[in-house]
Amino acid sequence: GENVEQHPSTLSVQEGDSAVIKCTYSDSASNYFPWYKQELGKRPQLIIDIRSNVGEKKDQRIAVTLNKTAKHFSLHITETQPEDSAVYFCAASSKTSYDKVIFGPGTSLSVIP
């Protein structure tokens, strides 16, 4: 069945350093790849997304890259700040015979001041 893998499961970085989270997906028909951030005790919120017709998208300190051939995509956070500490979920969605989004297991990011 459809599957999204995410690595690493935990990540600690020093404030100001960069953080990279990688995801792979199994369904080659996937065409929408959102990233959600969930702070402790709060709801997940979309931070950035990318569609299959582009290879990279940036929004200030956050960027996402997509390699459709290899079926993987990555989240890059530069100049990390303590408020970036949260659990990050990648996801993949397609509109073929089914219509649902599959989430990765999550990455717990800790930014050390």
**What is the contact surface with other proteins in residues (CB under 8 A)?**
31-32, 34, 36, 43-46, 49, 51, 89, 93-95, 98-106
Among 106, 89, 87, smallest CA distance to 33 is for 89
C-beta of 24 vs 94, nearer to other proteins: 94
CB of 99 to other proteins, least distance (A): 5
Instruction: Report the chain's terminal Cα–Cα distance, integer Å.
Output: 41
CB of 43 to other proteins, least distance (A): 4
CB of 16 to other proteins, least distance (A): 28
C-beta of 42 vs 69, nearer to other proteins: 42
Task: Identify residue 11 by its one-letter amino acid code.
Answer: L
Letter string b/e over residues 30-56, b meaning 16 or more CB atoms within 10 A of that residue's CB: bbebbbbbeeeeeebeebbebeeeeee
